[in-house]
Amino acid sequence: MFDLGVIGSGPAGYVAAIRASQRGLKVVLFEKNQIGGTCLNRGCIPTKTILHSCNVFSELKNSSKLGITAENISFDFSKIQERQKTVSEKIRKSLTNLIKSYGVTIVEEEATIEADNVIKTLTNIYEVKNIIVATGSKPNKITFNGSYNEDFVMTSDDVLNMTELPSSILIVGTGAIGIEWARILSTFGVKVTLVEMLEKVIPTADYEVSDRVVRLLKKSRIDFYTSTTIQEIQGKMVTLSNGKTIDVDCVLLGAGRKTDTIEVDKNFKTEKGNVFAIGDVNRISMLAHSGMRQAEEVVEYIVSGKESHFDKNLVPSVIYGTPEIASIGKTEQELQDSGLEYKKSFFPISALGKAYADDKIEGFVKILATENEILGAHIISEEASAMIQQVSIAMVNKLSPKKLQEVIFAHPTYSEGLLEGLFALDKIALHIPNN
């Protein structure tokens, strides 16, 4: 008899297994594919590995302005793909050993819940006291004309298996998947067209973030169409709902992910008393770090009965590339719709010495707050992924903007943009001209 059976070994599942073992539970972890789930094998890690190669290539191409001569710069995309697979494999082996080091039993088979206390695989039956379902999600496959042409239309899984780059591509969706792949492929010389069915680029983003991303796309010569869908595909000719026709080598579906949604209460408990669901499968917040946090909280609930305090509003999100795009909390539109009074600041990254030294002056820090707390922050900048974490710490601890103004930020850093953004809430920013 196991105290806990965890189905799925992605970020939510493996963290639940490790934390439960640390809390003294006897744990069995089931995985039908690869340890680490989508994030490690087909998502976060592979794409960031490719993106690193992309950024190095871009830096070398533009190094002359830095006084560095780099001639005949080229890349081998097949080797870039080989590296991302190698990186994932190394991390997967390390993660497997990490999980085993905590005494967790790993069963690499497909698992089904036979009863409230029984999990069955092809070769065995396991009795468990509690069950956590963390089975993740899959790429959303959109059919066109009632069919899906796998030779022409790719998912985010498929693109990781390409060994040669197309000369042109149409990407459906401008969320994290679509924007990150548009940046990667465009940097490597692919002609990219983005299609978004909603009214703005990155539909969930603050409007000033969306507007700036539009500028970045234009600068990268990436074509994009909003309020637009694919109407028809004939051969390699794609007809859009706006009447335009585009001849491309392939289509990449970057429009979200799907899952068999499991309804849960605030403690991630399903209608079956001892069965819990965390991560993508409950669709509360489909981000790896959300699943990891949910894992910690559900284990604590199982062990001690402590109620979960997971707050979706406190989950940071990041779109990677140059510059990074990071957000947390409310957008300005959400605050306007709520009628809540707030203060707003907008500080340009170009006013930072560090940004000029690095030749990375694109972006801004936008903070939305009251006198007593930060309500949201939206950052486009080099190192935005690290900067948003500082805001997250402040929001979780309900630190007021004035209290944060007392923090001494190292100089020169990008993080100084946060301090200036905090000062700008009171119209006392030090590096904005007095208008």
Residues annotated catalytic, as ranges: 411
Alpha-carbon 434 to chain mean position: 38
The pair of structure tokens assigned to 19 is 């934390």
The pair of structure tokens assigned to 328 is 């947390």
Q: Is the peptide bond before 203 cis (omega within 30 degrees of 0)?
A: no
Contacts with 232 (C-beta within 8 Å, 6 or more apart), sequence order: 144, 145, 238, 239
CA 102 – CA 91 distance, rounded (Å): 17
* H or E element, residue 16: helix 11-22
Residue type, 111: A
CA 291 – CA 272 distance, rounded (Å): 20
Cβ-based burial of 195 (10 A; exposed 0-12, middle 13-18, buried ≥19): buried
DSSP3 helix / strand / coil % (the chain, rounded to 5): 35, 25, 40
